[in-house]
């Protein structure tokens, strides 16, 4: 059974074919969805994203540039999406950024004001801005999901300012869920365990994190991106029609472990 048959959604942003956004899109399309994609308009990014889409077999899907740090870009993106699709049923927010020089053990105290502001803007405020653009296109209700990590709830060495940004993202999800509920728009967060993505590899001590999760998680292993993609299909589909404002962990159960 294809759980997203006939649904249309927007996915931001794929980095390559290892990114969690790619796995979410791949699973959504396999379940019958039609997807459009946003990408950061910087040199070489379009080619990289298009190549990843082609490797997933969805290289002909709609692709449009958007810098989520610029309101005018977001307005153009959703205007183009309306012209292309007319409506949407879901939005996938896989966006985060922090200066990697401060994603190191012992560097949180050194975080400058501009680095903090940029991390919160791109990683958390962007969900508000994108939801504001997406909601008018969700004429029959819909689903919005964002990608988080355990560092939002616990202090993870090396995750630093990104952990603060993810905490803001999860809180933002709850407030959006409260406000958009009467429009039948659900807003949830997926908290994924560590996956070998470009962004994860920028975090200091990441190899130790992988080893620790494998030793201590109930399933005694790390997850892969496809498992997050499958969980996303649940949240995007009508199977999760009564679920909003929640954080769903996909981390081999690591978040439940005390020692």
Q: Are strands 90-93 and 62-65 parallel, antiparallel or unpaired?
A: unpaired
Cα–Cα dist 33/248, whole Å: 21
Please indicate whether residue 234 is annotated as part of the active site.
no
Question: Residue 44 — left, alpha, or beta (φ > 0 → left; ψ -120 to 50 → alpha)?
Answer: left
Catalytic one of 102, 159, 175, 234: 159
DSSP 122: I
- If one counts every other C-beta atom within 10 angstroms of the C-beta of residue 113, the result is 7
**Choice among 102, 149, 234, 249 that is catalytic:** 149
Is 181 buried (19+), middle (13-18) or exposed (0-12) by CB count in 10 A? middle
Alpha-carbon distance of 110 to 89, in angstroms, equals 42
Whether residue 159 lies in the annotated active site: yes
Looking at the annotation, which residues are catalytic? 149, 159
């Amino acid at each position: 059974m294809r759980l997203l048959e006939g649904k249309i959604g927007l996915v931001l942003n794929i980095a390559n074919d290892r990114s969690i956004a790619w796995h979410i899109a791949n699973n959504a399309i396999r379940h019958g969805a039609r997807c459009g994609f946003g990408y950061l308009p910087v040199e070489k990014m379009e080619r990289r994203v298009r190549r990843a889409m082609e490797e997933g077999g969805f290289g002909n899907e709609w692709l449009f540039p958007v810098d989520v740090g610029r309101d005018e870009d977001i307005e153009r993106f959703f205007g183009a999406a309306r012209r292309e699709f007319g409506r949407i049923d879901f939005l996938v927010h896989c966006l985060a950024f922090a200066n990697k020089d401060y994603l190191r053990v012992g560097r949180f105290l050194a975080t400058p004001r501009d680095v903090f502001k940029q991390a919160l803007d791109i990683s958390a405020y962007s969900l508000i801005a994108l939801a504001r653009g997406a909601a008018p296109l969700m004429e029959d209700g819909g689903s919005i999901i964002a990608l988080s990590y355990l560092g939002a709830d616990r202090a993870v060495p090396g995750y630093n300012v990104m952990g603060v940004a993810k905490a803001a993202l999860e809180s933002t999800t709850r407030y959006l869920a409260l406000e958009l509920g009467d429009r039948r728009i659900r807003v949830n967060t997926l908290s994924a365990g560590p996956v070998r993505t470009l962004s994860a590899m920028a975090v200091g001590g990441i190899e130790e994190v992988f080893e620790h999760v494998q030793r201590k998680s109930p399933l005694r292993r790390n997850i892969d991106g496809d498992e997050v993609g499958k969980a996303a299909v649940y949240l995007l589909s009508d199977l999760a029609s009564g679920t909003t404002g929640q954080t769903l962990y996909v981390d081999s159960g690591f978040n439940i472990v005390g020692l």
